Amino acid sequence: MNQEIDKTKKVHSELAGAYFKQGYNCSQSVFLAFNDKYDMDFNTALKISSSFGGGMGRLREVCGAVTGMFMVAGMIYGYVDPKDHVSKTEHYKRIQYLAKEFEEQNHSIICRELLGLGAGKDSPVPELRTAEYYKKRPCVELVGMAADIMEKYIEENK
């Protein structure tokens, strides 16, 4: 059952962490934490962000928390005219800035590097969310960091 969290008095990083602890993937957790900033129903937001967990479907490429942050940026600041070179350039600058901020805190935006895994894709079967899982994975902290970076960016760029 999809369950939206009560957002009263919670910052976006807390929301992202709470969604992750409910079992949503890293990308969903960050994207959902900001659903007060864009016009999309909860289930559509879940579906559209569902493919990016585990570094893009457990391929262990770009961290899902980072892609969730990029999706939020696209919903708030994205361009719509493919011929608007200025807007496209500004948006790509924004995305590179957000990636740099995350990378400065974590030394990478690549899932397998953040988790200390070997090269290559992972099994498509997600791990069960047990207490041991949360002890060995930094993902709760990573979704919080991504949400903090996005929240700070939004505040500074109203």
3-state helix, strand, coil in the chain (%, to 5): 65, 0, 35
Query: What's the rounded mean pLDDT across residues 13-24?
Result: 95
Indicate if the pLDDT at residue 146 is higher than 60: yes
Q: Does 86 reside within a domain?
A: yes
State the pLDDT at residue 123: 85
Indicate if the pLDDT at residue 13 is higher than 60: yes
Q: Which pair of structure tokens corresponds to residue 10?
A: 């919670």
Query: What's the rounded mean pLDDT across residues 15-27?
Result: 96
Q: Does 58 reside within a domain?
A: yes
State the pLDDT at residue 22: 94
Q: Does 4 reside within a domain?
A: no
- Domains identified in the chain, total number: 1
Query: What's the rounded mean pLDDT across residues 129-146?
Result: 91
Please state, in angstroms and rounded to a whole number, the distance separating the CA atoms of residues 158 and 117: 38
User: What confidence category does residue 138 fall into, taking pLDDT thresholds of 50, 70 and 90?
Assistant: very high
Please state, rounded to an integer, the average pLDDT across all residues of the chain.
Answer: 92
- Nearest one of 115, 94, 110, 68 to 157, comparing CA atoms: 94
Q: Does 50 reside within a domain?
A: yes
Owner of token pair 């559509």: 44
Indicate if the pLDDT at residue 156 is higher than 70: yes
Q: What's the pTM value of the predicted model, to 2 decimals?
A: 0.91
Q: What is the extent of the structural domain holding 117?
A: 12-156
Q: Does 107 reside within a domain?
A: yes
Q: Does 2 reside within a domain?
A: no
Q: Does 5 reside within a domain?
A: no
Q: Does 133 reside within a domain?
A: yes
State the pLDDT at residue 128: 86
